[in-house]
Amino acid sequence: MTDSAPARPAQSPEYILQHTFGYTEFRGDQQAIIDTLVSGGDALVLMPTGGGKSLCYQIPALARRGCGVVISPLIALMQDQVEALRAAGVAAAFLNSSLAVAEAQQIEAQLLNGELELLYLAPERLLQPRTLDLLERADISLFAIDEAHCVSQWGHDFRADYLQLSCLHQRFPQVPRVALTATADQRTRREIAGRLDLEEARHFVSSFDRPNIQYRIAAKNNPKRQLLQFLTSEHQGNAGVIYCLSRNKVESTAAWLQQQGFNALPYHAGLSAEVRANHQRRFLREDGVIVVATIAFGMGIDKPDVRFVAHLDLPKSIEAYYQETGRAGRDGEPATALLLYGLEDVVKLSQMAATSEGSEEHKRQERQRLDAMLGLCEITSCRRRALLRYFDEELAADCGNCDTCLEPPATWDASDAARKLMSSIYRTGQRFGAAHVIDVLRGGDTEKIRQFNHQQLSTYGIGADLSANEWRAIARQLVVRGYLRVNAEAFNALQLTEQCRPVLRGEEQLQLRTLPKTAPSSRSRQGAGSEITAEDQPLWDALRALRKSLAEAHGVPPYVVFHDATLREMVSARPRNRQEMLAISGIGDSKLERFGEDFLQLLADFAEPAAPDAIT
C-alpha cells in the first residue's frame, strides 16, 4: 500500500459518481443519503444486498474534507474493497493485523498528512485506545459502520465488538455517522438504532425487492439430477454458491461436482483457515468457480457476478434464505435462486428446533420461523410477493419472475389420499416415521411390518397406486399445512393434529401440489441485460479473456477491472474512442486511463470492416 493519490479538490457528489465510478445516475435513496452525510447528518441505511450501499459512504467521504473511516467486520475482504477503490483512482487503505508494522506506520502517517480518502478498519482495531487516539489527531470526514446488523444479539452474525461502537458518537460528536445493513426485519432495525445511538439519525429503508433474481423452489426428486440439469442447462461456466446443511454433504457434493467436470470447491468451518482463505480467493478471482458451502460462507463477499445460489437443504428461516439468495446478482444482471427441499428437511429441521439449546420461548420462535419458511415453499402464489410481505413490503402485482408465476403449479384433489395417510398413521399408533407409514400404505414387505404385524391393518396396501415419492410429497405438505406434526421427541413419528378431523370426516377438501416429474427450468426472464447472441460470442469471449489477463497483471479480481454488465454494454455499444468509452456504465476516468486503450484496441480488431462504397 504505497502509492497514494494526491488529495483532490472538493467535488460534487454528481461529479464523483460520474468521473470516479463511471455511473450516470444515483440509484434509489443514494442521493438523499449522500446529501444527508455531506451536510453533516447521521443516517441509518437499510438496502438489500446489491442495492448500492458502498457508494452511500464512499461518495460523501470523497466529497467532504478528511478521510472516511469504514468499519467492516471481515478483514479478509478489506483488501478486495481497497483494491477496487484504488482501481477507480481513490486513495484508499486498510489497517489490520495482516499488515507489517512498517506498512501500518506508513498508512498512519498518510492519514495524519491528509493523504487518505478512505480507511477500512475492523471494529477490534478501531476500539484499541491507540487507534482512537490516532483518529482524534486526524481529519475524519465520516464513520461508516458496515454490516451494522452485527450489533444484533438475535442475529447469527453477532459481534461483541460492535456493541462498543456507540463510543464513536461520544468521542467524535462532530463527525457524521452512517450505519448500513441488508437485514430487513423490524426488530434488528430497532436494535441497530438503539445500540449505535442512531435514533436521531435519518432512516432510509429501501425496497427489498431484487427483481433480477428469479426465485425457484422445487420439491426434491433426485436432487443430484436436478442440480446437474440446472447447472448444465442454465449456468454452465457461471460462478455460484451451493448451500448445504452439513460439512459432510458439502464435501461430498463438491467432490461429486468435480467429477462432473465443474470447478467446485468446498467451504465450511471444519476446513483450515488457510484452505478456506484459498477457496474464497479462487472464488473471487477465477471465473466460473462454484463454492459448495455451509452458511459459514458469504457474509460480506462483494462478488457482483454470482449468477446463482442453490440450496440443497432447507434454510432455517426466511431471513436466512433471503440473505443467502441475496448474494446472487449484485450487479443487477439476471440470476437464479434455486431451493430444493423435501420431507427429510422438514423432519431434520423440526428436530433441530426441538432439541436446540435455549429457552422454550427461543424454541417457539425458531419453530415459527421454520413454519414461515415451509409456508413459502408450499404456496401456490407468487413467491416474491410472499417474501416481501414477510418483510412488511407489499408488491402491487405478481412478479412474473418466480417459478409459481412462470409455471403456475398444478394442484389435485388429494382429500382421499390424505385420509388414507392419516388413517395409516392412526392405525399404526402415531409412533412411526414417514418411511414405515408409507411402507404400510404401499403394502410393503419389510422386517418392521412383520415385526409389528402391520400387514393385518385395514390400511395395509390401500395406497399402492401412488409411489413412495408421491406419498412423501403428500406427507410433507400435510406437515407444512399443520395437519400432521413430526414428534422430534419420539423418533420423528408422524402424528395427527386437531386440524385432521374435518378432513377425516369428509367435510374438508384438500388441494395439494402435484409432484412435478422434473424440476421446472424456466428460462424466460425479465430484468436487466440481454443474452449474448451467438454472433457476438467471439467478441464476448475475447473481452473476458482480456479482462482476465489485465486482472492477473494488476493482481486484482476480474470484476475489479470491469463488471460483466460493463463488458456487455461494450458488446452492444461498440465504443470506438475514449469519449464513447466513457459513456459506458462502470467506466470512470481512472479505469479509462488504466484499461481503456487495451479494450479499444480489442474492439477495433472486432469492428466490422467499413462498408465498401457502392461500385456503380
Q: Which residues bind ligand ADP (CB under 6 A)?
A: 23, 25-27, 30, 47, 49-55, 302, 304, 330-331, 563, 585
382 binds, among ligand ADP, Zn ion, none (CB under 5 to 8 A by kind): Zn ion
CA separation (Å) from 576 to 69, 539, 542, 561, 588? 39, 14, 16, 19, 16
d(CA 574, CA 572): 6
Among residues 339 and 550, whose Cβ is nearest to Zn ion? 339
For residue 519, the minimal CB distance to Zn ion (Å) is 17
Residue 318: closest CA among 366, 363, 355, 380: 366
CA separation (Å) from 27 to 8, 32, 55, 206, 508? 25, 10, 10, 10, 50
For residue 15, the minimal CB distance to ligand ADP (Å) is 14
d(CA 479, CA 499): 11
d(CA 470, CA 329): 34
Among residues 122 and 440, whose Cβ is nearest to ligand ADP? 122
For the window 324-363, what string marks contact with Zn ion as x by the rule CB under 5 A? ----------------------------------------
What is the separation, in whole angstroms, between the first and last Cα of the chain?
A: 64
Among residues 387 and 510, whose Cβ is nearest to ligand ADP? 387
**In which residue are the cell numbers 502509492 written?**
3
For the window 298-327, what string marks contact with Zn ion as x by the rule CB under 5 A? ------------------------------
Q: How is 423-459 classified by DSSP, letter by letter?
A: HHHHHTTT-S-HHHHHHHHTT---HHHHHTTGGGSTT
Among residues 289 and 382, whose Cβ is nearest to Zn ion? 382
For residue 402, the minimal CB distance to Zn ion (Å) is 3
Count of residues in contact with Zn ion, rule CB under 5 A: 6
Among residues 70 and 353, whose Cβ is nearest to ligand ADP? 70
540 binds, among Zn ion, ligand ADP, none (CB under 5 to 8 A by kind): none
Q: Is 285 in the site for Zn ion (CB under 5 A)?
A: no
Sign of CA pseudo-dihedral 282, 286, 292, 297: positive
Give the burial class of 172: count Cβ atoms within 10 A of its Cβ; 0-12 exposed, 13-18 middle, 19 or more buried. middle
Among residues 114 and 400, whose Cβ is nearest to Zn ion? 400
**In which residue are the cell numbers 432447507 written?**
314
Q: Which of residues 390-419 bind Zn ion (CB under 5 A)?
A: 398-399, 402, 405
CA separation (Å) from 66 to 81, 140, 215, 596? 19, 5, 43, 30
d(CA 294, CA 297): 6
Q: Which one-letter DSSP state was computed for residue 11?
A: -
For the window 365-384, what string marks contact with Zn ion as x by the rule CB under 5 A? -----------------x-x
304 binds, among Zn ion, ligand ADP, none (CB under 5 to 8 A by kind): ligand ADP
Among residues 308 and 483, whose Cβ is nearest to ligand ADP? 308
Q: Extract the C-alpha cell encoding 64.
A: 467532504
Among residues 382 and 486, whose Cβ is nearest to Zn ion? 382
For residue 529, the minimal CB distance to Zn ion (Å) is 19
47 binds, among ligand ADP, Zn ion, none (CB under 5 to 8 A by kind): ligand ADP
d(CA 289, CA 308): 11
Among residues 385 and 419, whose Cβ is nearest to Zn ion? 385
For residue 233, the minimal CB distance to Zn ion (Å) is 21
d(CA 118, CA 110): 11
50 binds, among ligand ADP, Zn ion, none (CB under 5 to 8 A by kind): ligand ADP
Among residues 329 and 342, whose Cβ is nearest to ligand ADP? 329
For residue 69, the minimal CB distance to ligand ADP (Å) is 17
d(CA 372, CA 205): 23
399 binds, among ligand ADP, Zn ion, none (CB under 5 to 8 A by kind): Zn ion
124 binds, among Zn ion, ligand ADP, none (CB under 5 to 8 A by kind): none
For residue 120, the minimal CB distance to ligand ADP (Å) is 14
CA atoms within 13 A on the CB side of 102: 1
Interface residues with Zn ion (CB under 5 A)? 382, 384, 398-399, 402, 405
